[in-house]
Structure 1
Amino acid sequence: MTDALTKMLSERDWLMADGATGTNLFNMGLSSGDAPELWNADQPENIKKLYSLAVQAGSDLFLTNTFGGNASRLKLHNAQDRVRELNRLGAALGREVADAAGRTVIVAGSVGPTGDIMAPMGSLTHELAVEMFHEQAEGLKEGGADVLWLETISAPEEYKAAAEAFALAGMPWCGTMSFDTAGRTMMGVTSASMVDMVEALPNRPLAFGANCGVGASDLLRTVAGFIAQGTEIPVIAKGNAGIPKYHDGHIHYDGTPELMGQYAVLARDMGARIIGGCCGTMPEHLKAMREALENTPKGPRPTLEDIAEKMGGFSSASDGTGDDSDAPARSRRSRRRS
């Protein structure tokens, strides 16, 4: 039986994912430091509203409110014994919203990093990581998620452990890493080495890519790195809405809806198949992205210079692969980010 995401990818050139989870929930009253996953039980109407905002803005898939739903992260809130429950609820609320959408919408069960350092540098063993990811995956499966969605991973060892856990759960999956240190993840993975890792996995993802990171320009350069490897696995682009700035007591992302629309088209023309936003991406950004994707004819693959011209320069001279670019570095006064 073909899973829902594979079927949709076979029928469409591109799919639009959702935007931010945390930014939207903070706007609904979530306090900094609180576990968003507890709202799956305590504030279910707000979580359904979160999902509905993405669907109404045109998203073909949305991520569940379960990013920190593993035992290690939930232990910080004395909720480590509620992993299965909170993940099941997060997915079940998503299933309810997706089934009422009037069109096919994919419920993607979000799985974030454990927050622990993998051995031998840290105390997290491969076996324990697999156990934690498997427990979370089973909860999401019980709740009705269509696909598991690993995101914001830095360590290749953790990515591999999750892939093994998802095989145990018998669930299809996608997986992104966050490239935020001169074109590399915090643990040194480059776009090229990620492709090598993904293609060597016994349990390959349906799609892979990058999320979060520094800004949309850098994320698009990472996507270019994936495409340059000639991979046939669909690529995901899920960039932040501009650059975070501190304003009036809170963090604000300065990317406009127009800018995110340009980003979405660039990502599509670059070769990404699943395109969404990450931190700071609100419903108005998603609506602009959907409109731009539907109404802008597909163009030639953008160069790094094209990206820098439309989105602003890059935060580093290199993309981490050794293929340094002459494209301009980010300007502190880019008028496109005002």
Structure 2
Amino acid sequence: MTARKGLLERLREGPVIGDGGFVFQLEKRGYVKAGPWTPEASVTHTDAVRSLHRDFLRAGSDVMQAFTFYATEDKLVNRGNKAGETIGVDKINRASSKLAREVAAEGDALTLGGISQCPSYLSGMSKDDVKAEYRKQIKVFVEEEMDFLLCEYFEHIEEMEWAIETCKETDKVVAASMCIGPEGDMHGVSAAECAVRMARAGADVVGVNCHFDPFVSLEALKKMKEGLEAAGLKPFLMCQPLAYHTPDAGKQGFIDLPEFPFGLEARICTRWDMHKYAREAYELGVRYIGGCCGFEPYHIRAVAEELAKERGRFPPGSDMHDAWGKGLEMHTKPWVRARANREYWEKLMPASGRPYCSSMSCPDNWGVTQGDSVLKQQATSTSSEEIAKLKAMQDQKKA
């Protein structure tokens, strides 16, 4: 039997397509609690997680990422979330890894174990303590034979470096993506410098994920690519953005938008937006192309269809779709049949259906994410007069 190709070999040959956003999808389906966003569903609702993996595999995903987002011990017991105590971080991460392996074996997909930022860093714990939190997860991924590791959803390059260093204690390929936009990380480090520091820390693949839409994310990646080229570094590039339009988001992205997290549907990208995203990402040189929050299987299918020529195949899910709406030729209405072509959908400017809805929102610009004690101190020191002034400015922007 021919050995399966690893991540780096596949990236050298062409684009690798990631999967989409598990926490948002499973929250909508009733299996994840908004707020903690933790993955205990891998234990409590195994079939729901397995089913979503299969949907992404059918849509064209080349990687089954274990559902381990925020599954550090300090996060699972944070703010009254008792999942870490009642189930345990080890059990959750092992169950998630096994599900990813199971579904990956149904196709030719790779498996991935991911770690993300943890509360220990924001609370000011030492480098050794933070790295200890990551080792608990990474140990499971190594024992469960995940194909590679991913450090994702980091807002601070320092913590990202610590995470990469911990992953490099193994012999696994390491990818790294930060939840930042073109302005860089939360401490003012530029996107270009973040990319350089990720690569120098040992990441084989670097890029961005979450917090911003596909096109804002690609702007950040352009800066990262320029920085890497200037430094003479050549890691592969990856992009796994939101499926929500965020042209009006501030430095922290969509979490500052008033629609976060329950009113974002009006911002959802169409499948045709994803065709454009996939093409622009590929032409920029991005070779790991996937999605994060808001991405559904049909979004990934659009990415796979746009890059079908480069990949040498269409995804299984295209059997019931036909690229660019070709199946509409069988519709009973002639005006709908006339839409069975690429030109129509590429030129479409979708309407929201909300007559009094503004095109953009006023973000809640809270600033750098910090511990609760710091935020309380800031809130206490802010006078009622200043609060009134800020509210007036916000109302004026909305008007």
TM (norm. structure 1) is 0.79
Partner of 2:335: none
Q: For residues 199 and 2 of structure 1, do their structure 2 counterparts lie closer, same or farther at Cα, with a shift above 3 Å needed?
A: farther
Are 1:111 and 2:109 an aligned pair? no
**Contact 1:176-1:236 within 8 A present in 2 as well:** yes
- Identify the residue that residue 159 of structure 2 maps to in structure 1: 158
Q: Is 1:177 aligned with 2:178?
A: yes
Q: Which has the higher helix share?
A: 2
Q: Secondary structure at the match of 2:238?
A: strand
- C-alpha distance 75-7 of structure 1, shift in aligned 2 (>3 A): same
Between the aligned partners of 1:282 and 1:186, the Cα distance in structure 2 is: 28
Partner of 1:198: 198
Q: Deviations over 1:61-114 (max 9, x none)?
A: 13211011111111222344622221111111100000122xx21111121110
| 1:4 positional shift | 1.8
Q: Determine the C-alpha separation between the residues in 2 that align with 1:90 and 1:218.
A: 31
Distance across 2 between alignment mates of 1:211 and 1:247: 17
Query: How many corresponding residue pairs?
Result: 294
Describe the SS at the equivalent of 1:59: coil
What is the alpha-carbon root mean square deviation over aligned residues?
2.9
Greater C-alpha Rg: 2
Does the Cα contact within 8 Å between 2:15 and 2:282 map onto a contact in 1? Answer: yes
Matched residues in 2 for 1:2 and 1:54: separation?
A: 20
Structure 1 match to 2:292:
278
TM-score w.r.t. the length of structure 2 is: 0.67
Give how far 1:171 is off: 2.7
Q: Contact 2:236–2:287 at 8 Å: present in 1 too?
A: yes
Q: Deviations over 1:149-175 (max 9, x none)?
A: 111101122112112221334432211
Q: Which residue of 2 aligns with 1:68?
A: 70
Whether the 8 Å contact between 2:157 and 2:185 is mirrored in structure 1 is: no
Q: Which amino acid aligns with 2:216?
A: D
CA distance in 2, matches of 1:67, 1:248: 17
1:204-283 alignment, distance < 5 Å: 204-229=202-227, 230=229, 231-243=233-245, 246=259, 250-252=263-265, 253-283=267-297
The separation in 2 between residues aligned to 1:310 and 1:9, in whole angstroms, is 33
How many Å separate the matches in 1 of 2:89 and 2:260? 35
Equivalent residues of 1:3, 1:146 under 8 A apart:
no
1:34, 1:213 → 2: CA distance?
Answer: 16
By percentage of residues, which structure has more strand? 1
Q: Deviations over 1:26-47 (max 9, x none)?
A: 2321232455421111111111
Matches within 5 A, 1:1-338: 4-10=6-12, 12-30=13-31, 31-33=33-35, 35-76=37-78, 77-80=81-84, 82-101=88-107, 104-118=108-122, 122-180=123-181, 183-201=183-201, 204-229=202-227, 230=229, 231-243=233-245, 246=259, 250-252=263-265, 253-295=267-309
Give, in angstroms, the shift of residue 211 of structure 1: 0.7
Identity of aligned residues (%): 22
* AA aligned opposite 1:9: L
Q: 1:24 to 1:157 in 2, by over 3 A?
A: same
- CA positional deviation for 1:249: 5.7
For residue 113 of structure 1, what is the amino acid of its counterpart? Q
What is the CA–CA distance in structure 1 between the aligned matches of 2:262 and 2:128, rounded to whole Å? 42
